[in-house]
Chain A
Amino acid sequence: MKLNIEGLLVYFPYDYIYPEQYSYMLELKRTLDAKGHGVLEMPSGTGKTISLLSLIVAYQREYPLEVTKLIYCSRTVPEIEKVVEELRKLMEFYSKETGEKNNILALALSSRKNLCVHPEVSSLRFGKEVDGKCHSLTASYIRAQRHSNPSLPSCRFYEEFDAMGKQVPLPAGVYNLDDLKDFGRRKGWCPYYLARYSILHANIIVYSYHYLLDPKIADLVSKELSKKSVVVFDEAHNIDNVCIDSMSVNITRRTLDRSQANVETLQNTILKIKETDAAKLKEEYRRLVEGLKEANVARETDIYMSNPVLPDEILQEAVPGSIRTAEHFVGFMKRFLEYLKARLRIHHVVQESAPQFLKDIFEKVCIDRKPLRFCAERLRSLLRTLEIADIADFSAITLISNFATLVSTYSKGFTIIIEPFEDRTPTIANPVLHFSCMDPSIAIKPVFERFQSVIITSGTLSPLDIYPRILDFRPVTVASFTMTLARTCLCPLVVGRGNDQVAMTSKFETREDFAVIRNYGNLLLEMSAIVPDGIVAFFTSYTYMENIVASWYEQGILENVQRNKLIFIETPDAAETSMALEKYQEACENGRGAILLSVARGKVSEGIDFVHHFGRAVIMFGVPYVYTQSRILKARLEYLRDQFQIRENDFLTFDAMRHAAQCVGRAIRGKTDYGLMIFADKRYARADKRGKLPRWIQEHLTDGSLNLTIDETVQLSKHFLRQMAHSIHDISNCNVQCFCQLNLSQEDQLGLSLLTLEQLQSEDMLQKIAQIAHQA
């Protein structure tokens, strides 16, 4: 269908459109027009991805000079693949409608591990190994050495690509990871470098968050992307944590020991080189005297970690004289390491700010701030000069040097916490130095500054105003869209009491209470009897789940539940969990139904969808607050309060509620889906918690469904499920990918939550649509 969005012709590859999709595109178009940033919330399963893609592609075609590139960031490889598939569908629709060949180049980019086609390298198991091995074959100086000594091993794919691949650009089309690999194999070119080279002129790039947010990777991959790009962060509800993780450094005793070994290797290599090839060190020295103007030639293949967001003015300056020669620098690193070791030899927790740390380090070992700031850059240069092939070995010292640079560059937004032992095991000495970032805006700032439009979107972004504040940017559009439904297919219920009127809550004081645990068990038991197919239950933490399941077992509740359904449990082990998931799905498929016990913030809650019969009910046991005793969290809360005026409680509740919403949102993955959402904690009934749920859930949470007892819940659920089970038709032409059985005929939805082109153009529908967007 062809749409007219405020004068922009948009090709939409389906025959029907949801009203909120139209509204979403409208807001998006305005954001692009204004060349600003946007925060958009739309429920999962309403076709966010295709709306985004079709509008931005249309915009690109219409104004090729205004928007040259779309950078679509997603979280996991399966999600990336899904986006590429949608894009492929859109492109096919374009060529069918316009009849001409498309000249848009779209590709996915992932790590070497997912893209390598070299028979030996790609068989390695871990990403780090693949990177290291690849680097030892393709680094520029290794290839230079090969000129004199051709017997050294090489990667023929890279050589071939280097010789041929750069002359002709990648032909237009849509490439997912497998397409790239196929193409690479056919041509004999390295798909990874081909993709990295091609993103410079591609129209659409789909890759992971880290390629933009992690300063070490972003500097290599995304540095040269055009300013006139539109950046989309999909599933962005966790973006602040990604930002923080990418800037934080944890140093343990083991890191230090490994760095010590690294330093010794460096020292020996320097001595050796001094005897054999002193000119090389002299050359480096000369370069450093001149300043850090980088030679761009070698940059492409040398994946030496680059400096995390080093301000440009420092790059222009020359390296301070005290670390200019190689020996002096190694001595400097030695002193720094010894200092860190001494700091880790403590018996009580220390928390200090960056300036305090810098002052102390000057007093103890006479290290100034300035050389520290150049540390990462200096190490990079040294490693390159010494021509050390396997940089995976040097990750420890690189980490230390990154820490040095960060601690001396930022005086605000970071805190240093040294803990002599873990909280859980106070008797075992295991000192850790956390250099933790508290301000997510530091990592994301370059993105907001560089690109003209950045769109942050997800199914759960409520409350909307908090994201612009913690990421410190000014959006031009902030909007939340609800789901228009032909029937109320979600049923959120807040269960507050058991049948014995004991309040149900995971509050710390009462969570071990026998009555609470029993009531939780009863709730699960009752639900297992009435809900068909799959039930997913989320707990607040692994330890809590363990405790509860153990006492359920003792009380015989588990046995009773197992009469109705099979039970599967998520564990911290990834392999075990995926096994459990597989069996869970099998059990749901063959009709018996199953229960999956999992954990909020775990793997299941973040990435697994429970469409249709895989999840007819989600039970959230308790409010998933983070572990508030951790010092890092405390420091972050303090920082938020001082810098952004966000109260501790507000942030904690916000964080808990976004995870709760993520969990319960797993069950509804489209308009034809239906599911119960049971919040089993009386605290959910309070306005401050309830108000932080996304609007599309809040809408259906009436006063009648608050603070229920278990039998009331059962009553309401039965009613809801019976209603939903009516009218089974079959439709195949739905625009969200759902191939399972559908309980809702298309005619029912048409005109209400599914629109044809004619309906879309009618006057009163347009007015209705205008109301969907809830301007925050």
Chain B
Amino acid sequence: MRWEWSEVREMDDQGCPRCKTTKYRNPSLKLMVNVCGHTLCESCVDMLFVRGSGNCVQCDTPLRKSNFRVQLFEDPAVDKEVEIRKKVLKIYNKRDFDFSNLREYNDYLERVEEIVYNLTNNLEVEGTKQIMEAYQRENRDIIQKNKAKLTREQEELEELLLLEQQGNEQRRLETLQEEQRQLQAKRKSKQALLDELERSHVPATILLAQHKDRAAQLETQIEKQKQVVKTTIFSTGIPMGQTVSLLTVNRLEEVLYHYQPIHMHTYGPPVPELEQLGRLGYLNHVRTAQPQDMAGGYNSGLACHRAIQDAFSGLFHPLG
């Protein structure tokens, strides 16, 4: 159990470096972070930055109050990095189709990463800023143009999300409609019962019984409809045409069905039995079955037999 305790402490350990309040002591504590990546709690920010601007307590960077954001992550450095990254990506917004090949695009991505890395870790800040400005001046058109565009990956994502939303919406609508329909059907049958009770001369008990019967039927119908699921397709793209029931057939115990072979009048010469085909040499003229066919239970005798039946039937058909 000890690790649990330490974990809890770790989560509550987050606190304001200035007034030393922690989340544990003040659960409503709100930590803020500014561009330099140093944390302050909300009340300290309010106190120190009454005039709207001031210096960071830890690194002495001049800061504006309006730039304080709620700290999302445990590590304020990540908050800072994300902030910087968003800024950089606004300028460096070239997409993969702006490049002739993947290699160049990857090199470009790395350059962007380098800039973000330098800015976050305060390495050559001035030089990097100059590079950024130069880039911005040179590529003003492309930056403007790409502002609204998404990368291809993001487009795909949006599409998927849209699909998902549509699917959910459709499902919701369907269930709603279904419910509505059921409600109506029930109301209708109730009304019908009242009408009948008013007009008909049949005793009320019978009418009630009939109504009960009908209601039960309606119920089963609704049940059945509920079970019919909309056909979609497999993830492989194979369409699924039907709902497959998993029930095996119930065994009936009462009266067994006696099979009587059908006597077909073929009006032709007698057809040899299936087993005899091979012996009589019929099979020599038929394509032998492939192993793929045999697995499913097929053999060449079946086809041959059928063909012979076809050929023989009707040969002696009586005229008139």
Contacts and interface: CB of A to CB of B under 8 A. Distances in A.
Interface of A: 30-31, 33-36, 253-254, 257, 289, 317-325, 327-328, 331, 334-335, 338-339, 341-342, 345, 353, 355-356, 358-359, 362, 364-366, 368-370, 411-413, 429, 439, 441, 463, 465-466, 469, 472, 476-477, 641-645, 647, 650, 654, 687-688, 691-692, 698, 703, 775
Contacts of B153: 368-370
B125 interface: no
A492 B78 CA distance: 64
Given A33-B295, A319-B106, 4 more contacts: A257-B7, A341-B73, A358-B157, A465-B246
A645 B229 contact: yes
B292 A34 contact: yes
The 6 closest A-B pairs by CB, nearest first: A321-B109, A33-B291, A321-B106, A34-B295, A321-B110, A338-B73
B112 A322 contact: yes
A365 B236 contact: no
Interface in B270-320: 291-297
A345 B72 CA distance: 10
A319 B114 CA distance: 16
Interface residues on B, range: 35 or more
Most chain A beta-carbon neighbours within 10 Å: one of B8, B112, B114, B235: B235
B78 A687 contact: no
Interface stretch (B173-181, B182-190, B196-204, B247-255): B247-255
B248 A691 contact: yes
A645 B243 contact: yes
A439 B105 CA distance: 35
Contacts of A321: 105-113
Contacts of A322: 109-110, 112-113
Nearest to B233: A643
Nearest to B243: A645
Nearest to A30: B295
A472 B246 contact: no
Contact of A476 (B10, B164, B250, B295): B295
Contacts of B164: 353, 355-356
Contact of A339 (B73, B158, B243, B293): B73
Contacts of B114: 328
Contacts of A369: 153-154, 157
Most chain B beta-carbon neighbours within 10 Å: one of A322, A356, A650: A322
Nearest to A642: B232
Contacts of B259: none
A33 B297 CA distance: 12
A644 B153 CA distance: 28
B208 interface: no
Interface in B146-175: 151, 153-154, 157-158, 160-161, 164, 167
B138 interface: no
10 contacts: A34-B292, A34-B293, A318-B106, A321-B109, A321-B113, A338-B75, A355-B157, A439-B235, A645-B243, A687-B250
Nearest to A31: B295
B157 A364 contact: no
A33 B247 contact: no
B82 A335 contact: yes
Q: Please classify the interface of chain B as helix (H, G, I), strand (E, B), loop, or mixed, using the class held by over half of its residues.
A: helix
A340 to B, nearest CB: 10
A231 B126 CA distance: 63
A687 B247 contact: yes
B296 A476 contact: yes
Interface string B44-69: 00000000000000000000000000
Contact of B161 (A35, A254, A355, A644): A355
A328 B291 contact: no
A356 B161 contact: yes
Most chain A beta-carbon neighbours within 10 Å: one of B86, B108, B244, B295: B295
B42 interface: no
Given A34-B294, A328-B117, A477-B295, A691 B247 contact: yes
A355 B235 contact: no
Most chain B beta-carbon neighbours within 10 Å: one of A35, A257, A366, A641: A366
Most chain A beta-carbon neighbours within 10 Å: one of B106, B158, B243: B106
B74 interface: yes
B19 interface: no
A345 B157 CA distance: 25
B294 A30 contact: yes
A353 to B, nearest CB: 6
Contacts of A257: 7, 10
A366 B291 contact: no
